[in-house]
Amino acid sequence: MPLADVSQAHWRALRLHARSLLGLELADDDLQRFASFARMLLDWNQRLNLTGITDPAEIVIKHFLDSLTLMRAGASFEGLRLIDVGTGAGFPGLVIAMLFPGCEATLLDATVKKLRFIEGACAELGIHNVRCVHARAEDAGRQRAHRERYDIVTARAVAPMPALMEYTLPLAKPGGQVIAMRGKDAHEEIAEAARAITMLGGELFQIEEVQLPGLANPRYLAIIDKSKATPRRYPRKAGLPTREPLL
């Protein structure tokens, strides 16, 4: 596949959309870092199959702008410990880490090749606030190093809501938040996960609607407060949250 480059015009469009949609002023440095990362993503994607989105305009909107919509949940991530569950090629977690150098970001995925890509990209771009963890979320959620250690837990396109709650809520500190990025059926999905949220120590705080430019359907941030400690029996062993979701 030929290597389409994401042009200056696409990044200028990102700056305008970030301003109007999120009130976010992206600096030249931010855009340059995003552009370098996008170039590496497209380059490595030819060998590694990191993302299905390869059209430059779509990369800017569906990967970068969509990741930035997390700012609808909080004006700044500076000083926070964030974990992005099922980060894939780094969306949304790496974009947030690039924008907030004082955000300590852990990018977790069960597929090691995507993490190797992220590590390579971070080394080349001089990004020092990111660490990659190769694990299943269900295993990380039982480990002392990760359980209830994070202020913010993010996830996009990883699992149905009830299973996703079992992946993410155990990782959030009491007082922290899970932000699940969902598609057009968010309201039904969240209703379906209501019991799981309560059982895992969470409480639905807010559903934020986001309309990305040029896309027919809105997207949603399901923002869930971690109000109580997660009972010790959760998460259950790897595979169970999807096979036998808490309903």
Cα–Cα distance measured from residue 192 to residue 207, given in angstroms and rounded to the nearest whole number: 14
Q: What number of other Cβ atoms are within 10 A of residue 52's Cβ?
A: 8
Token pair belonging to 138: 């269900």
The CB-of-72 to ligand SAH minimum distance in angstroms stands at 17
Q: Which of residues 180-199 bind ligand SAH (CB under 6 A)?
A: none
The CB-of-167 to ligand SAH minimum distance in angstroms stands at 6
Applying CB under 6 A, which part among 73-81, 82-90, 186-194, 199-207 lies near ligand SAH?
82-90
List beta partners, residue 133: 108
User: Are the beta carbons of 158 and 86 closer than 8 angstroms?
Assistant: yes
Residue 170 makes contact with ligand SAH by CB under 6 A:
no
Token pair belonging to 101: 């150098």
Residue 167 makes contact with ligand SAH by CB under 6 A:
yes
Residue 114 makes contact with ligand SAH by CB under 6 A:
yes
The CB-of-241 to ligand SAH minimum distance in angstroms stands at 8
Residue 158 makes contact with ligand SAH by CB under 6 A:
yes
Residue 112 makes contact with ligand SAH by CB under 6 A:
no
Residue 147 makes contact with ligand SAH by CB under 6 A:
no
Residue 91 makes contact with ligand SAH by CB under 6 A:
yes
Q: What is the CA radius of gyration of the chain?
A: 17
Residue with tokens 């059209």: 55
Q: Whose Cβ is closer to ligand SAH: residue 109's or residue 151's?
A: 109
Residue with tokens 């004006």: 75
User: Are the beta carbons of 14 and 65 closer than 8 angstroms?
Assistant: yes
Residue 136 makes contact with ligand SAH by CB under 6 A:
yes
Task: Identify the residue among 10, 59, 80, 88 touching ligand SAH (CB under 6 A).
Answer: 88
The CB-of-28 to ligand SAH minimum distance in angstroms stands at 25
Residue with tokens 């410990």: 81
Half-sphere exposure of 244 (CA within 13 A, CB side): 6
User: Are the beta carbons of 205 and 225 closer than 8 angstroms?
Assistant: yes
Residue 68 makes contact with ligand SAH by CB under 6 A:
no
Q: Which residues bind ligand SAH (CB under 6 A)?
A: 86-88, 91, 108-111, 114, 136-138, 156-159, 167
